[in-house]
Amino acid sequence: MIIDTHAHLNTDEFKEDLEEVLSRAKAHDVMRVLVIGMDEASNKLAIEQAKTHEMIFATVGVHPGYVDSSTTDHLKELLNDRKVVAIGECGLDLHWRKDNFELQKKVFIEQIELAKLTKLPLVIHTRNSFEEAYQCVLPYKGEVKGVFHCFSSDLKDAKRAIDLGFYIGIDGPITFKNADELVRIVKEIDLKHILVETDSPYLAPMPHRGKRNEPGYVHNVVEKIAEIKGLTIEDVKKQTTQNAFDLFHLGGFEK
């Protein structure tokens, strides 16, 4: 079994063929998909998809790109749903905007507080912002857990994230030619700290780069990790699946 722990199937890109996408995922042994919310509308759609598809679980949060149009006020109500397994996608993004940093930080910390209260894990976005996000989470060390999604910093920061009790999310970029630092991270850190993701419909791995990404392509990420670490594909499937069940409590997995 493989678990795609980060996919945006609740976007327009999957409106027409969601059933076919899920069928292709199953053909590649992907038996669970976490559909990630980003604002009120996408959070509610993620839950709807989770309720109508056994293999889908949902996360709900306010992405830093949506802080101007969506507050965290609606989250508590949604967290009661049994198929909601995490808070996020939340965090900081200093690639697209820096002028609203204080608002991004406020909304992020509200979600960290919510994670502390509910004991749900966090799905954290850090684009050009690992240090800033790390400093937000550091005061809560031991009180919150989660994943630094689509990790894009360096080995030192990966070790700092792990020291906080967080997982490292590895996506399609691990298969790109210029992925030297990501390869180094995967080589150096223990597999027990890694989750596999697609970030569908974005960041499709080789050989699908430039096309719409989908959960079935997570097998390309698994294969690359196995190659880098000198492990079997089955070893990587087993451990990353175990990691996902341990963090998100998806139920039904025998060790």
Tens of pLDDT, residue by residue over 51-86, are 999 999 999 999 999 999 999 999 999 999 999 999
CA torsion through residues 114, 119, 120, 126, sign: positive
Helix pair angle (155-163, 180-188), 10° resolution: 40
- Reference 149, options 63, 234, 39; nearest CA is 63
Secondary structure letter of residue 231 according to DSSP:
-
Beta strands in 23-159, from DSSP E residues, in sequence order: 30-36, 56-60, 84-93, 122-127, 146-148
* Angle at CA of residue 79, ends 115 and 7, nearest 5°: 85
Q: How far apart are CA 125 and CA 202, in angstroms?
A: 14
Q: pTM to 2 decimals? A: 0.96
Give the per-residue pLDDT at 197.
Answer: 98
Give the per-residue pLDDT at 255.
Answer: 36
Averaged pLDDT for residues 223-234: 98
Averaged pLDDT for residues 212-240: 98
For the record, the structure tokens of 183 come out as 């390869």
pLDDT over 90 for what percent of the chain? Answer: 97
Q: In which band, very low, low, confident or very high, does the pLDDT at 223 lie, cut at 50, 70 and 90?
A: very high
Q: With beta carbons less than 8 A apart as the criterion, state whether 197 and 5 touch.
A: yes
Q: How far apart are CA 58 and CA 45, in angstroms?
A: 9
* Position 253 pLDDT exceeds 70: no
Residue-wise pLDDT for 84-116, tens only, equals: 999 999 999 999 899 999 999 999 999 999 999
CATH class held by domain 2-248: alpha beta
Q: Which residue bears the tokens 């919150």?
A: 144
Which amino acid would we find at residue 236? V
Q: Which residue bears the tokens 């590895």?
A: 170
Secondary structure letter of residue 179 according to DSSP:
-
Q: With beta carbons less than 8 A apart as the criterion, state whether 124 and 147 touch.
A: yes
Q: Alpha helix locations (H) across 88-232?
A: 101-118, 130-137, 155-163, 180-188, 218-229
* Position 248 pLDDT exceeds 80: yes
Q: With beta carbons less than 8 A apart as the criterion, state whether 9 and 33 touch.
A: yes
Q: In which band, very low, low, confident or very high, does the pLDDT at 251 lie, cut at 50, 70 and 90?
A: low
Q: In which band, very low, low, confident or very high, does the pLDDT at 42 lie, cut at 50, 70 and 90?
A: very high
Burial class of residue 232, CB neighbours in 10 A (0-12, 13-18, 19+): exposed
The mean pLDDT value of the chain amounts to 96
Averaged pLDDT for residues 170-198: 97
Residue-wise pLDDT for 113-171, tens only, equals: 999 999 999 999 999 999 999 999 999 999 999 999 999 999 999 999 999 999 999 99
* Position 252 pLDDT exceeds 80: no
